[in-house]
Amino acid sequence: MALIAWLALAGCGDDDASLDAGPALGDDAGATLDAGTPPMDSGPPPMDAGPPPEDSGPPPVDAGPPPMDAGPPPGAFGDPCTLGAECASGVCLTGAGCTRLCDLDVPHACRAEGTLCLPTGSGDAVCGGPSIETGPDTGDDANLGLGDCVMRSLVPLGADADLFQVRAAFDGRLQVVARPESGVDLALDFYDGAGSLVARSTMGGAGELEGLRFDRWTAESIVYVLVRDDGSSIANPYRVCVEEVTEE
């Protein structure tokens, strides 16, 4: 009851007893605060773009242009050619075809090709010239100089042949002779440094000497001598020698 009496007192007393409610709002303030311009319409929500694309890995490496045609394979020995680039060896012998370099210091250096090792004007030597068959015996071929003599045999008779290269640092006259040690009948074929057949010695019979004399031999001369069986032999061996000619 005391609370109610106090309230009544507060409502009925003088001006000093009333509560100050603060200044009144002006008439032009409005009943509410202005919240500003309403938001603009942002349109419909974005469409669902779907799941992200799968990772396809790194981009392909550029393989470059297709390989060029390598052309025909290079020529083997004896194949026709006009340029060294057309030959597997890189050496083309004009008028003869693909060939290869050889070493004049090696006896029968072109045995595998079945031909001769011939000097060129440039200081090299190449396989070329006639076909030379020396049979299955590979150890009898030799290089001979002035004063050299070697003993050889033709085995088997009728199938074997021996090739001798003759070079001598000598100006004058010399001869190449083959002397049978028994009844072998020899034939000698002589080829010059260009591979041309220049002489053949077959005059002697079984057991008789065969050979050829060179009256104008020079230090630059080179001769190949092919010793073979003349077809009527009955025995071996023989001796081949390079000799200076001193008598007139």
Same domain? For 145 and 236 the reply is yes
147 and 201 housed in the same domain: yes
Q: Quick one: 140 and 234 in the same domain?
A: yes
What is the per-residue pLDDT for 57?
Answer: 65
Does residue 139 fall inside a structural domain?
yes
How does pLDDT run across 12-26, given as a tens digit for each residue? 344 443 334 444 434
In a domain, 202, yes or no: yes
Domain presence at residue 14: no
Would residue 51 count as lying in a domain?
no
- The range of the structural domain enclosing residue 81 comes to 74-133
Q: What was the pLDDT predicted at 172?
A: 95
Kindly state whether residue 214 falls inside one of the protein's structural domains. Answer: yes
146 lies in the same domain as 199? yes
Q: Which of 115, 133, 151 is the last residue of a domain?
A: 133
pLDDT for res 117:
98
CATH number, position 184: 2.60.120.380
Number of domains the chain contains: 2
Per-residue pLDDT, averaged over 63-77, amounts to 71
Q: Which of 13-22, 35-44, 144-153 has the highest mean pLDDT?
A: 144-153
User: Is there a single domain that holds both residue 140 and residue 248?
Assistant: yes
CA-CA distance, 173 to 247, in Å (whole number)?
A: 10
Band of residue 178 on the pLDDT scale cut at 50, 70, 90: very high
Q: Note whether 241 and 215 are same-domain residues.
A: yes
